Amino acid sequence: MGAGQISYDVAHLIGATVLMAGLQLLYQRRLFAVINTFAFQALALAAAAGWQAHVQDAPHLYVTAGIALVFKAMIVPFALHWLIEKLGIHRSVETAMSIGWTMMAGVALVALSILLVLPVTANAAALTRESLALAMSVVLIGLLMMITRRNAVTQVVGFMALENGLILAAVSAKGMPLVVEISVAFSVLVAMTLFGIFFFRIRERFDTLDINDVETYRGDRQ
| Residue 55 predicted with pLDDT over 60 | yes
Q: SS3 of 147, please?
A: helix
Q: Decide which of 139 and 124 is more confident.
A: 139
Mean pLDDT of the chain: 78
Q: How confident is the model at residue 2, as a pLDDT?
A: 59
Burial (CB < 10 A; 0-12, 13-18, 19+), residue 149, is: buried
| Residue 178 predicted with pLDDT over 90 | no
What does the alpha-carbon distance between residue 70 and residue 76 come to, in Å, rounded to a whole number? 9
| Percentage above 90 pLDDT, the chain | 15
Question: pLDDT tens digit string along 184-222?
Answer: 665 666 666 656 656 665 555 555 545 555 455 444 555
User: CA triplet 119, 168, 53: central angle to 5 degrees?
Assistant: 110
Q: How confident is the model at residue 36, as a pLDDT?
A: 92
Q: How many CB atoms lie within 10 A of CB 115?
A: 11
| Residue 25 predicted with pLDDT over 60 | yes
Q: How confident is the model at residue 108, as a pLDDT?
A: 93
pTM for the whole structure: 0.79
- pLDDT band for 75, please (50, 70, 90 cuts): confident
CA dist list (Å): 31 to 39, 113, 132, 156: 12, 28, 29, 12
Q: Confirm if 135 and 165 have CB atoms less than 8 A apart.
A: yes
What does the alpha-carbon distance between residue 189 and residue 18 come to, in Å, rounded to a whole number? 21
Read off the DSSP letter of residue 23.
H
pLDDT mean over 112-118: 86
| Residue 21 predicted with pLDDT over 90 | yes
- pLDDT band for 126, please (50, 70, 90 cuts): low
Q: How many CB atoms lie within 10 A of CB 195?
A: 19
What does the alpha-carbon distance between residue 116 and residue 18 come to, in Å, rounded to a whole number? 19
